[in-house]
Amino acid sequence: DGLFAHAAVSSSSYGYLGGGYFTPPATILATVYRIDFSNETISAPGYNLTEARYLLAACSSSSYGYFGGGFAPPSTYSNTVDRIDFSNETTSPVTATLTQSRYALAATSSSSYGYFGGGFDPPHVATIDRIDFSNETTSPVTDTLSQGRHALAAVSSSSYGYFGGGQNPTGNPDYLDIIDRIDFSNETRSPVTATLPEARSSLAATSSSSYGYFGGGFAP
């Protein structure tokens, strides 16, 4: 029971959880919840995503959080990108959308751009879309992930973004331990020699200034 399949971003003072699937009762949410880092209380600011959806992804600039993609039933794969303004917690749709509707994707960001990668359309997606924080336009990155996959996770350093794990039932193997790196300086993608210690999907990731951490997931 509880909330799952949502996405999260953070400012320096608050964390924001957007969308997701809540049970019981079975409800798909557009709600944005806020956690106050100073006292760890949770509240709902009152501004929601433009559509209820789950299995979406999120990234952030210093001023805004962006929630993109997701599954919005009945049978609707979303390409919508919603923005939350950290200064006043209002939400609004970004005029530009992802180049491809999809869910179970992952997102990471540099100081200038956000990157939404992978997902399921169907079929499985290897596309990486870039959102320019300066003008909120979206465009596909020429390089793609090494393999189309969904239920992956992503982290970033100041120089690189890392997409790890995931699942592609049409591939061999089905569950993946691979990590793809995107170089923020030229947006080229390359495989990381090291892999996750076990192949898994539906994992989560976070990072410090020095390390990225991939945790949990489903490993058959």
What is the predicted pLDDT for the residue at 75? 79
Task: Kindly tell me if the per-residue pLDDT of 1 is higher than 80.
Answer: no
Nearest to 66 by CA among 88, 91, 46: 91
pLDDT at 9: 97
pLDDT bracket for residue 136 (50, 70, 90): very high
Residue 12 bridge partners (DSSP): none
Q: What is the structure's pLDDT at 172? A: 82
Model pLDDT, residue 135 = 97
Check pLDDT > 90 for residue 43.
yes
Tell me the mean pLDDT in the region 156-184: 95
* Cα–chain center distance at 104: 8
74 or 121: whose pLDDT is higher?
Answer: 121
| Per-residue pLDDT tens over the stretch 197-213 | 999 999 999 999 999 99
Sign of CA dihedral 51, 54, 55, 58: positive
* Confidence band, pLDDT 50/70/90 cuts, at residue 41: very high
Looking at residue 171, its pLDDT comes to 80
Contact between 170 and 124 (Cβ < 8 Å): yes
| pLDDT one-digit tens code per residue, 2-39 | 999 999 999 999 999 999 999 998 999 999 999 999 99
Over residues 83-104, the mean pLDDT reads 96
Percent of the chain residues past pLDDT 70, beyond the cut: 100
Instruction: Give the pLDDT mean for 137-158.
Output: 97
Which residues, including other chains, have CB under 8 Å from residue 65's CB and lie 6 or more apart? Answer: 9, 10, 11, 16, 18, 58, 59, 83, 84, 86
C-alpha angle 147/152/81, rounded to 5°?
100
